[in-house]
Amino acid sequence: MSLPKPTFTLTIPSVHDGIPLDCRLFAPKPTKTELPLQAAIIAHPYAPLGGCYDDPVVNEVAGVLFKAGYFVLLFNFRGAYKSASRTSWSGKSELADYVSIYGFIVHFLNSVKTCVDSINAGESPRIDSAVGTSLTLGGYSYGSMMAMNLPSVHNVMAMFRTALDTSPEAAIRSRALDMAKEWTRELQRKIESRGQSRQSLSTTTNNNGNSLAVSMGGGETESKSRRTSRDSRRSLDLEGLRKSMDKVRSKISPGRTARSSDEEEDGSEKYLNGGTDFLSPPAISYLLISPLVGPVAGLLTCFSKLSLPTPKSSSTEKTTGNENGSQLAQHNTLAIYGEGDHFTSRRKFDRWAQSLADVPNSRFRAHRIPRGGHFWQNVEAMRELSDTVRAWAGAGNLSEGSSMTG
């Protein structure tokens, strides 16, 4: 399933060393009832073997999720395509690259929700949105190995919350907020210009859900090879949002007048101005396509333990990775692998999957595709892969207690 033109092309600085990572964000078309606040990251295979965000399996899975109403974020690890630097021997730098994208999308989703809530507090046409946010951490091959070794969402959020103002984390927060304002403002403008009510919200973007084609970032490094791109400067009218909030407050507390300039900001306004204390964690799920387990994973990391190194510019302590797959068992997880995968035997896959499924209260599920291989060249196997992802996404990532079989 093909993807449309990306809504945003951007670079995000890696929290490891600040090098720019090339990214594409695809924004979905709102449904007739609400704006979905669910997102997915799909990481690509090993860069030295040609892996990048243009990989056909990555794009197939991403296309299915986009069609299901997800914001989809694709990126290139260091050393892949237009991303700077080179692939590391240990994989720790790449894990930090993924955490950078992780932090960005968490802040982006929260920013979109905050902007929408602020718009709905005023007199503009309402934009219904989901109550909470959700995020699927995914990957194919090497990308799935990185995804399943990520720190918990709370550790990632703490890392961004305590980062120094001059750090890559701070730049990522700022870029996510700016982009959310830009996208939400464009959505609001279209609604107002067409005089549409929330019942006809589904026509506020084009058929691909892409109303913008904006490039952002590119100023993370001072190297000669630094990429240049436009930085979007438009933002929501914060003063207008504050007035809308004051109206809501006056209705709740009739005796209260509009907030004076020296009054304390509420949580929404603090977040719109760059604060992170009011960040809400998304519901996390994992989608692993042809995950690398066993010796092959060790070879690609020189058998070192995958954990996140302490960023030089951060005040946080070392952040550990996904200890013993506990995150995979704790959250809704779907692992899909082909029976003919030549990197990992069926027996090893089955044993690995069973060990995670046997964890008490595990929410891990595996689906084995008989004709599938690691590169998914069989047309029928690729179709089953797409159908499996589509069913999983359509079922809300499968509620606890559900199962999928090979």
Tell me what the mean pLDDT of segment 172-186 comes to.
Answer: 93
**How many beta carbons lie within 10 A of that of residue 256, not counting itself?**
11
**Residues 124-150: b if buried by 16+ CB within 10 A, e if exposed:** ebebebbeebbbbbbbbbbbbbbbbbb
pLDDT band for position 119 (cuts 50, 70, 90): confident
Q: Partners of 9 in the beta sheet?
A: 24, 215
pLDDT band for position 193 (cuts 50, 70, 90): confident
* Higher pLDDT pick, 165 / 203: 165
Tens of pLDDT, residue by residue over 346-399, are: 999 999 999 999 999 999 999 999 999 999 999 999 999 999 999 999 876 544
Distance CA 25, CA 377 (A): 26
Least confident of 14-28, 294-308, 323-337: 294-308
Tell me what the mean pLDDT of segment 231-235 comes to.
Answer: 35
Percentage with pLDDT > 90 across the chain? 50
pLDDT recorded at residue 210: 52
In this prediction the pTM is 0.80
Least confident of 68-72, 262-266, 285-289, 308-312: 262-266
Three-class DSSP category at 142 = helix
Distances (CA, A) of 353 to 93, 297, 306, 330: 27, 15, 20, 14
pLDDT band for position 231 (cuts 50, 70, 90): very low
Tens of pLDDT, residue by residue over 248-284, are: 344 434 443 444 444 444 444 454 554 555 678 999 9
For the record, the structure tokens of 121 come out as 């507090």
